[in-house]
Amino acid sequence: MIDALQKLRDRRQALEVEIALLQGEAKPVRQKLADIDRQIGRARQELSDIEAQTKKLDVKPAVTDHAVVRYLERLYGFDFENIRNEILSDKMLGAMNFGASGLKVDGGRFVLDGKKVITFITKD
């Protein structure tokens, strides 16, 4: 029994030494992995920055509807308030109050969403 106990103690001591040696070998590997993780993080950040810059540069030139309306209003004298009032005729108000989804008029059809006129479609 004493022999078996000594063998276990010897094996335990050998394993402790082996663990210590392996931990010593693992330390530089862990450091190298940490360095690689930092490099990956920097590369991902740069990639994200490039994607953001690409999005900004890849935007097509555009003119908003608001700019078009103001241009027509100020340069050509369009009176959009009168046009709105013309569209919101008694017939239109009746269609809205009835819950219609549209109203046919000469030249096309107004599309409604509740009590909003959202577009005009011509017969063509």
Question: Which tens digit of pLDDT belongs to each residue from 14-45?
Answer: 999 999 999 999 999 999 999 999 999 999 99
Whether residue 64 is contained in a domain is answered as: no
Could you tell me if 55 and 95 lie in one domain?
A: no
Whether residue 71 is contained in a domain is answered as: no
Whether residue 47 is contained in a domain is answered as: yes
> Is-above-0.85 flag for pTM?
no
Kindly indicate the confidence band of residue 101, based on its pLDDT and cuts at 50, 70 and 90: very high
The number of domains in the chain is 2
As a whole number, the mean pLDDT across the chain is: 94
Whether residue 68 is contained in a domain is answered as: no
Q: What is the mean pLDDT of residues 3-12?
A: 92
Look at residue 124 in the predicted model and tell me its pLDDT: 72
pLDDT higher than threshold 90 for residue 93: yes
Show Cβ contacts of residue 78 under 8 Å, excluding neighbours closer than 6 positions: 69, 72
Kindly indicate the confidence band of residue 1, based on its pLDDT and cuts at 50, 70 and 90: confident
Domain that holds residue 112: 79-122
Could you tell me if 15 and 48 lie in one domain?
A: yes
Could you tell me if 18 and 54 lie in one domain?
A: yes
Using DSSP bridges, classify how beta strands 116-122 and 102-105 pair: parallel, antiparallel or unpaired.
Answer: unpaired
Could you tell me if 48 and 96 lie in one domain?
A: no
